[in-house]
Chain A
């Protein structure tokens, strides 16, 4: 029997739950030469800010056991260039709903960018990255306190019409309180988790491997943390969750969905295997068959 892989995120129907995570797929241009992007459920595009950003000095990357650290620093051409160049280019090679990932360093910047991207027909979901430092509050990341996460959510909801997913940072004491604050502030969903703050040291040179000293740890190693946080939030909230963090196989997709995710993002795995998302989608029907799953959406939150 043909397996049903489709899932629904706040009324946005995806043919399957597999989405390349923001920052691990660019704006699709390079990957469109690697495989037909229309096999994907959606694409979360490279994190976009109001102004063009070069990001951090290099080295920006460090290898870790079963993972990696990156400190790219939100390199992107800025919201206007994304709308003028990247989205039209992506439209030529990808014909499905797009998730626009937006970052900001102030509430006003989030609002301005989200309002602009909300007007783009191709964009069906807005994903708000609250892991950036708030320049008006001593650089504390918006996503590390329930109040500031809620403030961003409310501000963005005021100026948008499309579903807003808040992408949460795992670098917090209580992920549930932050997810709840976002839900109460009007978030339509949450994406979790962003990268975990990490660091590597070059012991021969006695200095950090990464120029920025610290960076975001991602890859297979963080998968159990992501599953745990998705599960905790799913138990406490009623809005859909996009699970993200260390997903590398069709089995991981099923596990993340059983924990409570309605869709799943694949991040660092794309960097080591450019075909990762495509292969996971191809393997899903066999894994479903083995596990006796006919409709993938039936297993969302199966673990109580």
Chain B
């Protein structure tokens, strides 16, 4: 964990509620896809945890959905604003677990952390199939970015306005993808349905309301098959077999 000051380079709406914020500064502590940062915001007591969408030396991209006061405030921030950020939080995905063909499944605002993971897996010479689930066409974001990163992208929308009509599990069944390992982030019912639908191994990123974000307050503890774990510290990514649904 490192506390750094990052400067907003751009902050734009991708959909009516989803924003992409690009920041510059010291990102040395951010090393894995699926990890997160915590942002201090004016007038709010606790920092806001936001998953890392992408990073490079000196650059960080966050994609977040406006769901409350914190993210509302973030959406209004202008380029040039400097933010107090804790970086390098959480464990992240283990890209080495996949041997040849990875299935990445994202639901709504669970999509962003899979972007960096796609880049990592492609760089390792692995095949990447990405299934992205949204409610409707207007909510779709980053589909082209995933394609440009080298993934085979399949879209599912609940209302059928784009791609396959239905949930991500419907899209996976219809597409008959021959993956050896899966990675997923999204709403809990989606993660559960996915884990039940496949006999392949994989890992999922869980969400929990956090206090500190770095393991000292026990605010985000969950029971797992291997005992009590902190979503912020031992997680947010857990192996499929560890999750108690």
**Interface residues, chain A, with chain B CB atoms under 8 Å away:** 23-26, 30-31, 33-34, 46, 54-55, 58-68, 70, 72, 75, 219-220, 268, 270-275
Contacts and interface: CB of A to CB of B under 8 A. Distances in A.
Nearest to A34: B1
A33 B217 contact: no
B217 A72 contact: yes
Nearest to A74: B218
Contacts of B47: 272
Given A68-B211, A75-B228, A274-B86, A61 B45 contact: no
Contact of B220 (A58, A64, A275): A58
Contact of B212 (A220, A274, A275): A274
Nearest to A62: B209
A199 to B, nearest CB: 15
Question: Could you tell me the dominant secondary structure of chain A's interface residues?
Answer: loop
B221 A55 contact: yes
A151 to B, nearest CB: 29
A25 B216 contact: yes
Interface string B215-244: 111111111000010000100000000000
Contacts of A60: 209, 211, 218-221
Interface in B189-230: 208-212, 214-223, 228
B40 interface: yes
Given A30-B216, A58-B220, A58-B222, 13 more contacts: A24-B216, A26-B216, A30-B215, A31-B216, A59-B208, A60-B218, A60-B220, A63-B46, A271-B211, A272-B212, A273-B40, A274-B214, A274-B216
Contacts of B96: none
A271 B215 CA distance: 9
28 contacts: A24-B212, A26-B215, A26-B218, A30-B215, A33-B1, A34-B1, A54-B221, A54-B223, A55-B218, A55-B221, A58-B222, A61-B46, A61-B209, A61-B211, A61-B219, A61-B220, A63-B44, A63-B45, A63-B69, A64-B45, A67-B45, A68-B211, A72-B219, A72-B221, A75-B221, A219-B45, A271-B212, A271-B216
B3 interface: yes
Interface residues of B, number: 26
Nearest to A77: B228
Contacts of B233: 30
Contact of B211 (A65, A70, A220): A70
Nearest to B47: A272
Contacts, number: 89
A272 B68 CA distance: 18
Contacts of B208: 58-59
Contacts of A268: 45
A275 B221 contact: no
Contacts of B228: 54, 75
Contacts of A65: 45
Nearest to B69: A63
Residue in B209, B218, B221 whose Cβ sees the most chain A Cβ within 10 Å: B218
A34 B1 CA distance: 7
Nearest to B209: A59
A270 B46 contact: no
B44 to A, nearest CB: 7
A65 B1 CA distance: 26
Interface in B41-57: 44-47
Contacts of B46: 61, 63, 68, 271-272
